[in-house]
């Protein structure tokens, strides 16, 4: 999937927010928070971007490293990173001639893991997402996943 510049512009517009002029100060503040949440969710709405976040779980990576690991062309990877950056989820820092990308908000992985757990519960016969296992990443949300045989054993009790 080729991303359009409009994706990044839409996220930036959402983050700058067009807060309603009517309503109380609290209603306007709530709207601004919800708009920011929607922008972040929109940035997560593409499977390759979720895969990028999972790769960055293990530390900073360059565009080339991410493109190779996720079988993605470098221009497309750059666009995905730009979208995630506009949403405030990743940032790049220059090291020599290379830009290394890292998570700005590591807590987003917890949200991704919750969604992954929901998907795993709905599709128990499918493999665990992205090959994550408790032994690989030690992340609590992924260590709670049950295998199909565990679920059958639990339901038979």
Say how far apart CA 8 and CA 33 lie, in whole Å: 19
Say how far apart CA 61 and CA 98 lie, in whole Å: 10
The CATH class for the domain spanning 5-103 reads mainly alpha
Q: Give the domain ranges of the chain.
A: 5-103, 108-146
Tens of pLDDT, residues 10-66: 555 555 555 566 777 877 788 889 999 999 999 999 999 999 999 999 999 999 999
On whether the pTM is more than 0.85, the answer is: no
């Amino acid at each position: 999937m080729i991303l359009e510049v409009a994706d990044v512009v839409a996220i930036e517009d959402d983050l700058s927010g067009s807060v309603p002029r009517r309503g109380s100060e609290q209603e306007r503040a709530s709207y601004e928070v919800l708009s920011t949440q929607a922008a972040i969710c929109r940035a997560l709405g593409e499977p390759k971007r979720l895969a990028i976040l999972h790769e960055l779980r293990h530390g900073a990576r360059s565009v080339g490293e991410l493109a190779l690991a996720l079988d993605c062309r470098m221009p497309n990877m750059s666009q995905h990173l730009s979208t995630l950056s506009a949403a405030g989820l990743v940032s790049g820092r220059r090291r020599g001639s290379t830009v290394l990308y890292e998570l700005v908000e590591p807590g987003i992985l917890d949200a991704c893991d919750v969604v992954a757990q929901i998907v795993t519960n709905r599709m128990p016969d499918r493999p665990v997402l992205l090959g994550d296992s408790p032994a690989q990443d030690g992340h609590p949300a992924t260590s709670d996943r049950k295998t199909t045989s565990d679920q059958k054993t639990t339901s038979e009790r």
